[in-house]
Structure 1
Amino acid sequence: MTRRPSRYSAVAIALHWVIAVAILSMIPMGWWMSDAINEPGSQALAYRVFQIHKSIGFLILALTALRIVWRLTHPVPALPGAMKGWEQFAARATHAAFYALMLALPLTGWAYVSTGWAVATDTPLAVATSWFGLFTIPHLPFIEHASEAARRTIAWMAMGAHSKLAWGAIVLVALHVGAALKHQFLDRDGVLSHMIPMLPHGDDNQGVAPDPTPAVRWAERLAGVAFVVVIGVAFGMAAKPAPTTEGQSVASAPAPAAAPASDTAVTPGTAAVWTVDKAASTIQFTGTHTGKAFTGRFEQWDAQIWFDPADLAGSKAVVTIETGSAKTGDATQEGSLPGADWLDTATYPTARFETSGFKALGANRYEAAGTLRIKATTIPVVLPFTFDEANGAATVAGKLELDRSALNIGIMSDAGGDWVSKVIGVEIKVKATRAG
């Protein structure tokens, strides 16, 4: 018979306390952010707390999987022989419940974010999940690609289970802490020293409890897991929303969009040709997200420019932008932008601006009228800009504002601009030289 150790291994102790601290931090975090996200003054901070909450959740999931593997491959200290049979059963069942809970909490959270649905507003909300800003965690594909009605139902069920499992965690933590203190100060059997090495051992004369039979061991495990499953399933089902009326959409769909223009057919202008210095040129976009200003940029784009103040009729510009190159410095935003509701980079990898005419406004000021195509929608735009030339080198700077609802960007997730401003500013700065 394998001799039981007097304490848990260093790895088991480290995993125990790291997971414990993570779970204890998650509960107040979850309570606060659920209310704060709906308040304009705290929305920006709550958004960031949500991302941290999700990241810690995935950390708990990964560490729990590691802890289970470690537990199955390493012996653990035996329970004191003085413990009554029901106490031993309860102790082992509680441990099983903890393992089930540490898996169920992050998994229900993962299911919820995979739906792309906000329970608070009962509307779609596509937000990527970035693990501490280092890399994007994919959504569960069998949920993400389900129908809108199914995703809505799953979102309500997952959040219902998730919130009540958090209360289950509070109950288990209270029982666990209470039992540990009882062993330490009333029974004085040294059980707490199994997980806190600096504490002294208890009374060695109490002996150790015999290992349970396989039937009892499985009963203990099933009892603990059942506690978590019943909470999750029961409250998940209770949180299921009332079905929508047949034929009624749960969210307003955007109007059909115009077909995209070709990105290849370009009729050149007759004015002077310019070569853009991309290293010294930028295309930026600005707006607000959760009440806080942001600035982004497109890192990959191409421009064909024919321009001469003396030949505006022969001037022309065509700019093609790789939408997947959008960067904002926020990993969650960058993970969300490629989604179908936003830039839909998988279906429409490029956006295109093409001029139809130029107008002089006096001095170095001009206007470029043209069309802008993003995804499948094309709209007319006017870009005011300045043009300064010296010794064959030119500097161009221009700004315009776009209504993202007119371009069908983020309409399913945020048509009202509650999260992301409806008006997005675009600013171009171009340095170029006359070709030839």
Structure 2
Amino acid sequence: MSASASRYTPVAIALHWAIAVAIFAMIPMGWWMSEAINETGQQALAYRVFQIHKSVGFLILALTALRLAWRLTHRTPGMPAEMKTWETFAARATHAAFYGLMLALPLTGWLYVSTGWAVATDAPLAVATSWFGLFTVPHLPFIGEAAAGLRRAVAYQAMGAHGLMAWGAVVLIALHVGAALKHQFINRDGVLAHMIPVLKHGEGRTAPEPKPLLRRTERLAGLGFIAALAVAGGIAAKPAPLANGAGAEAHAAAAPAQAEAVVAPGTATAWTIDQAASTIEFTGTHAGKAFKGRFEQWEGQVWFDPADLAGSKAVVLVKTGTARTGDATQEGSLTGAEWLDPTAYPTARFETTSFKVLGGNRYEATGTLRIKATTVPVVLPFTFDEANGVATVAGKLELDRTALDLGMMSDAGGDWVSKAIGVEIKVTAKR
């Protein structure tokens, strides 16, 4: 495009300021959360800020793609004719560098979270990404399935590049703002009015468009600056060898499809569960903050009679992919291979082996709980009340997620998610 526009279009102006505000928020946010995530009292807030940081990053990536498409199809204002050759070269190279940064920063962040490795703790950490809690953003393909050593190396290099480019953004912002103020208050050529329409627009001549070779050189200079930062950051962040074989490969063999055993009925009274009036909920803490969730889909077969405990029986199948906490990031993480892994293990199974009277309306069910490939013994105290052929049952138990092999790669010590997970059932059933 040889001709120049007198000012930027309203769409270009809106995109420019939206991206600018997002970047201004992202840089201090990133610095603060990187430190706060290691402080026990600030972890819960830092975790939330991390999710916002990722969401804003994807917003910048989308807006930048739109801004580039708009830029390639619309004319832009020319440079003032009074500008020296080196000034116009620096200005255009800086613009190219900004476009490179606005793409490279979110992309390296996306690459980092896709590795499932936390640089801060130098340990696996599988955390899903949700866009402002509205929907889950998939990780980049193939990275998460790579060997642990490769994922660790990529995580360090991606974060190193990400961090150094953030400093590069600070430098470019300072240059950009400084140049804009110089044009407005020293040169008084109206350049700033191109992006702030309320300002007085300059009427001076504009310089001719540079020759194609010079234009390519300007772009290469700007993009080369970003590439140099990314490479330098990646090299400087090369991880040290892990001590004592820590972080060794975790076996991830494909699990066979689950086949649920046929349930032999008990001899006691059969009950039909009212799903709409019944719940299975779970509780715990995450990043120092309590959470509460539920399973939206499950089914149970129950035979129970206080007068025939020997013939009483219960089998409950829970669809692990329906765990809901109201937090899209938590829900996305729960579907990961090291947590509930519903792709390989679509159901969890609870089955009783015996019942005992505790007194009054209180009883105790002994049984087994299978989650993924692990089965553990459990004891469920519960109350049973019946009126007019309708029974209400309420019970609670506490599970040790470490015994069930849940989250053991990312958080074996319970630093993020509590080891103790409470489970509460409330069941309404009819004879």
TM range (shorter): over 0.9
Contact 2:19 2:63 in 1 (8 A): yes
Of the candidates 210, 213, 226, which is equivalent to residue 228 of structure 1? 226
Per-residue deviation at 1:201? 1.8
Alpha-carbon distance between aligned partners in 2 of 1:9 and 1:252, rounded to the nearest angstrom: 53
Distance change >3 Å, CA 345–CA 84, structure 1 → 2? same
Spell out, residue by residue over 1:173-212, the C-alpha distance to the aligned partner (whole angstroms, 9 max, x if none).
000000001111111111111111111122x3x4111111
In structure 1, distance between residues paired with 2:52 and 2:340: 25
Gaps of 5+ in 1: none
Instruction: Tell me the CA shift for residue 330 of structure 1.
Output: 0.5
Query: What amino acid maps onto 1:156 in structure 2?
Result: Y
2:281 is aligned to 284
User: 1:315 maps to which residue?
Assistant: 312
| 8 Å CA contact 1:260, 1:377 repeated in 2 | no
User: Normalized against structure 1, the TM-score is what?
Assistant: 0.96
Correspondence list, 1:129-148, <5 A: 129-148=129-148
Would you say 1:272 and 2:302 are equivalent positions? no
Matched, 1:383 2:380: yes
Aligned to 2:153: 153
Q: Check 1:259–1:377 CA distance in 2 against 1; reply closer, same or farther (3 A cut).
A: farther
Q: CA deviation at 1:37?
A: 1.4
Q: Which of structure 1's runs of 4+ aligned residues deviate more than 3 A?
A: 251-256, 258-262
CA contact (8 A) 1:296 1:328 kept: yes
- Cross-structure match for 2:355: 358
* 1:4 Cα deviation after fit: 1.9
- Alignment: residue pair count: 430
- TM-superposed CA distance for 1:391, in Å, is 1.4
Structure 1 SS opposite 2:403:
coil
Within a 5 Å distance, the mapping from 1:250-265 to structure 2 comes to 250=247, 262-265=259-262
C-alpha contact 2:258 2:346 (8 A) present in aligned 1: no
Q: Do the aligned partners of residues 321 and 136 (structure 1) sit closer, same or farther apart at CA in structure 2, a change above 3 Å counting?
A: same
- Does the CA-based 8 Å contact 1:260-1:373 persist in structure 2? no
Match of 1:405 among 402, 407, 417: 402
Q: CA deviation at 1:260?
A: 9.7
Secondary structure at 1:413's aligned position in 2?
coil
Distance in 2 (alpha carbons) for counterparts of 1:255 and 1:414: 17
Query: What residue is the counterpart of 2:415 in the other structure?
Result: 418
* Counterpart residue identity of residue 236, structure 2: A
Q: Distance in 2 between matches of 1:215 and 1:259?
A: 59
Determine the C-alpha separation between the residues in 1 that align with 2:61 and 2:291.
Answer: 32
Measured at CA, do residues 34 and 238 of structure 1 come closer, stay the same or move farther in structure 2, by a change above 3 Å? same
Instruction: Report the 3-state secondary structure (helix = DSSP H, G, I; strand = E; otherwise coil) of the residue aligned with 1:265.
Output: coil
The answer to whether the 8 A contact 1:251-1:412 is kept is no
Counterpart position of 1:83: 83
User: 2:13 aligns to what?
Assistant: 13
Q: CA RMSD in A?
A: 1.8
User: Conserved in 1, the CA contact under 8 Å of 2:321 and 2:342?
Assistant: yes
What residue number does 1:345 align with? 342
Residue 243 (structure 1) shift: 3.6
1:369 to partner: Cα distance: 0.4
Correspondence for 1:184: 184
Q: What one-letter code is carried by the residue in structure 2 that aligns with 1:92?
A: R
Counterpart of 2:216?
Answer: 218
Contact 2:148–2:249 (CA<8 Å) still a contact in 1?
A: no
SS state at 1:366 partner: strand
- The SS at the match of 2:66 is helix
Give the TM-score of the pair, scaled to structure 2: 0.97
Deviation at 1:3, TM superposition (A): 4.0
Amino acid at match of 1:201: H
| Cα pair distance change 1:255/1:18, threshold 3 Å | closer
Establish whether residue 71 from structure 1 lines up as the match of residue 68 from structure 2.
no
Superposed CA deviations along residues 109-133 of structure 1, whole A, max 9, x for unmatched, are 0000000111000000000000011
Q: Is the 8 A contact 2:119 2:156 kept in 1?
A: yes
Kindly tell me: are residues 261 and 365 of structure 1, through their superposed partners in 2, closer, same or farther at Cα, counting changes over 3 Å?
A: farther
Whether contact under 8 Å (1:57, 1:106) holds in the other structure is yes
1:100 is the counterpart of 2:100: yes
Corresponding residue for 1:50? 50
Q: Distance in 2 between matches of 1:255 and 1:64?
A: 37
Matched, 1:394 2:419: no
**Counterpart for residue 207 of structure 1:** 205
Structure 1, residues 240-279: CA drift from partner, whole Å, max 9, x if none? 102447x9351585999x9998523211100000000010
Give me the whole-angstrom Cα distance separating, in 1, the residues matched to 2:195 and 2:62. 21
Alignment identity in percent? Answer: 73
Q: For the Cα contact (< 8 Å) 1:273–1:306, is it kept in 2?
A: yes
What is the distance in 1 between the residues matched to 2:31 and 2:142? Answer: 29
Structure 2 partner of 1:168: 168
Secondary structure in 2 matching 1:143: coil
Structure 2 alignment gaps of length 5 or more: none
Report what 1:62 is aligned to: 62
